[in-house]
Structures are given as C-alpha cells and as structure tokens.
Amino acid sequence: MKNLEQYYELYDHGTSPDAPCVVFLPGVACSTWLFRDSVPLFNPNYKVVIFNNPGTNGTRLPVNLTVERIAQIVVKVLQKENLTNCILIGHSMGGFTAQQVYKICPELVSKLVLLSSSCGHPFTKEEALRLAKDLVPNALQRIRDFNSKPEEGVSYTFSNHFMETQPIKYKIFAHRLFEMRPRQSAVVRHFLCASRFSSFKFLKDIKCPTLIVHGEDDKLITPKGAHMLHENIEGSKLVMYPHCGHFPMVESGTFYDDVLKFIKESK
C-alpha cells in the first residue's frame, strides 16, 4: 500500500475542520472521474473524498484483488486524513467496499448509501442461474465490444428509456467511460473481485442509517439485490427509480437531491 495518495482525491477547500466527509467509492473499471462533477454539490458543507479502484488511474493492481483489500486501503486513507463521521456512497462494487469498510471499522462510518449494489453474488439460486446463463458467458465479449464500440459495449448497463430519451447525454457518458477505462486485465480482475464478495452474513450488523438506491431496469445487478439489502439492514430506506439502469447518478435527475436529503434528515 505504498503511494497511498494515488488512491484518492480529497476536496476540503473552505470546509470547517469538523465538517462531515462524503466518501465516494466507484464500481468496476471506474475511478475518481465518475463522481468528480458532484463535488460542488457537497463542498463546502462537506469534505469530499473520491477513490480510485486498484488498477485505475495508474494505481497498483494487487495480484489477489479482493473487496476486503480495497476496504483496507479506504480505511487507511480515512485514518491518514483523520476523517471521521464519514458518509460512504458506494456504487456497484463500491457498495461492496462500503459494506466491508463498515464491517472492519464501523466507528469511521456515520451513514451508508448503497447505489446499484447488493450483498454480493450469487445470493439466490435464481441469481446464480442468471449469472451462469447471461453475464459470465457474455462478459468477455461485452468488454471487447466496449473497447471497440463504447456506445454498444456499455448499453447493457443503461435503461432503454434513458438511451432513447437522452441520446446525447448517453453518448457523452459512454465515451467518457471509454476514455477513462483501465486496461482489459484490470476490468476482468475487478469482475472476479466482485464475484467473490458476500456480505449476507453480516448485513444485520449494519446499524447506521442506510439509503439503498437502485434502478428498476438495472440488468447488471437486478433490483432483487436492493430488496435483499433492504430486508436485512434494519431501518434502511429503499428508493427505486423507474426507467433507470445501473447508473442512477447519470440517469436520474433527482439522485443527488435524494442523497443530500437523506444525509440531512437521517440520524
């Protein structure tokens, strides 16, 4: 874990020393760029930390990459920066990381926002069959498509409604994702990392206020994942977005408003 500073960006200009901290944890193949545009929505009332996943933005990719290892990096950064009262916002695999950070160091976490995430794969027999028949056999082809035709390669993760009604916004995001992608080997190892994670056994130990956000048309992590989290995290709040896929922060115009409302109103 040398060169720890490469794993994150800290935005605290104009914030008070005791300001709460919003921590963004991107998912597979994503890095700080995914949430950087949101910083002005939170500063100066909140400090903001955005993480790079290992293997993105020039960071080292461990041979045996696990969610537990990523969570350890996050904890070390938060401790290094003396950040407490942290609101963790984890997207997809980043949601796995957020849950694992809470497990190993709950005193650092005040709230959780689990975005397009679940308790890991596979969590039901039906989900295991879906992965075996659809995602696993087609994963490498989707990665190849993305590397050559970004708009086609990433279409699986968005709702048809969004692609049809917001074609320019979709195109811009697809090409931005393409430009910022890590090497193909990193993407494959991210998927392998996510596939080995399960938080089901410790979900009931999560006691902090938790917001679960999911798109009703998410095909990558289906809405059943969100409902599983909601049913097993006591007192959690579930928000489902219609006509929305795997990226509610892009597809939904109310996502950040909903997050800010949750942060301010939950105790």
- Looking at the chain, the whole-number percentage of residues with pLDDT higher than 70 is 88
In a domain, 138, yes or no: no
pLDDT digits (tens, 9 = 90+) for 100-140: 999 999 999 999 999 999 999 766 666 666 655 665 556 66
Query: Stretch 58-82: mean pLDDT, rounded?
Result: 94
Q: Tell me the average pLDDT of the chain.
A: 90
Render the burial of 188-226: b for 16+ CB within 10 Å, e for the rest: ebbbebbbebbbeeebeebebbbbbbbbebbebbbbbbb
In a domain, 142, yes or no: no
In a domain, 259, yes or no: yes
Query: Stretch 42-57: mean pLDDT, rounded?
Result: 95
In a domain, 160, yes or no: no
CA 219-220-222 angle, to 5 degrees, is: 60
pLDDT digits (tens, 9 = 90+) for 254-265: 999 999 999 999
Domain that residue 93 falls in: 4-127+184-265
Query: Residue holding tokens 């929305």?
Result: 244
In a domain, 175, yes or no: no
CATH code of the domain containing 27 = 3.40.50.1820
pLDDT digits (tens, 9 = 90+) for 8-38: 999 999 999 999 999 999 999 999 999 999 9
pLDDT beyond 80 at 142:
no
In a domain, 27, yes or no: yes
In a domain, 87, yes or no: yes
How many structural domains compose the chain?
A: 1
In a domain, 199, yes or no: yes
